[in-house]
Amino acid sequence: MQSYPAPALARVTEMAHAAAADPARAVSFQGAPGCNGHRAALEWDPACLPLPCFSFEDALDAVKDGRAGHAIIPIENSQHGRVADIHFLLPESDLNIVGEHFMPIHHALMALGDGPFTAAYSHPQALGQSRFFLRTRGMVPMSYADTAGAAAYVAELGDPSVAAIAPKIAAELYGLKVIAENVEDAADNMTRFVVLARDARDPASLGARPMMTTFVFEVKNVPAALYKAMGGFATNGVNMTKLESYQKGASFSATTFYADIVGAPGDPAVDRALEELAFHCKELRVLGTYPQERPRG
């Protein structure tokens, strides 16, 4: 908590106390009050008690430790790709994905002064989503732990020559002027969040709603292993909407894959596809089955 800039710390303390009084309603997120994770928590559950956490690990630990019933974590952005480290953190957390939430992302440039500005602070994702805006104005992108935290930091610095890129609400929270709205480079900028809990959802309890299943796997180190592993999804007509690879460890000898499919265990086609996948894998772990918030395909 002490890592937050002073303008944010009082609000963090207040929200943490409210969450501690009713942990089951608490939804942890990474960032200072006013960040996109804060917005996502309230959109996903308007009755929740948002719990700010300085890092993604802290947000996940809050659920593991029982200080929050759920965590909401950004996993990918339509313009800037996957959020760094999330593919490592989710399997290591031992939590289960129980939901997803899509949220349009709109950034504002905010500062104490009116400009010109030499630099802009924000989360690397927001900086990447606004890189054309910054480049054409000669502003140096400066990385910060989260968007709203960057706004609080600029308020704390007291330097009118620097700005922050954050949700518009952060300017109201930390006494900054909104210099420009919608500074993101793409109007259809969208972030997908996943919701995590300690207990997995039973696919049978989700009814007839379309569902998603997320899993990670590592194929055996033999020729054409990935091709063979993917064959079961094609032959069984299971739609794989996402497949990403990342290195596990420093040896570069083993690649782990992260995947989303439409469907759930218990569906015969999904069961057959996962069974065939497991045959070609050294490791397979389902991270969760949850209702589909947005249609795929």
* pTM greater than 0.85: yes
Please identify, in words, the CATH class of the domain defined by 203-291: alpha beta
Least-confidence region, from 15-29, 85-99, 129-143: 85-99
- The catalytic residue among 147, 191, 256, 289 is 191
Q: What is the arithmetic mean of pLDDT over 40-57? A: 96
Residue 288 has pLDDT above 90, yes or no: yes
In the prediction, which pLDDT does 199 show? 96
Let me know: does 8 contact 174? Beta carbons within 8 Å. Answer: yes
Identical topology for domains 6-105+190-197 and 203-291: no
Q: What is the arithmetic mean of pLDDT over 216-236? A: 92
Please identify, in words, the CATH class of the domain defined by 6-105+190-197: alpha beta
- The catalytic residue among 54, 56, 117, 193 is 193
Q: What is the arithmetic mean of pLDDT over 253-277? A: 93
Active site (annotated) includes residue 88: no
Give the Cβ contact number of residue 279 at 10 Å. 12
Q: What CATH number has the domain spanning 108-181? A: 3.40.190.10
pLDDT band at 1, cuts 50/70/90? Answer: very low
Let me know: does 29 contact 73? Beta carbons within 8 Å. Answer: yes
- Which sequence spans correspond to the domains of the chain? 6-105+190-197, 108-181, 203-291
Active site (annotated) includes residue 256: no
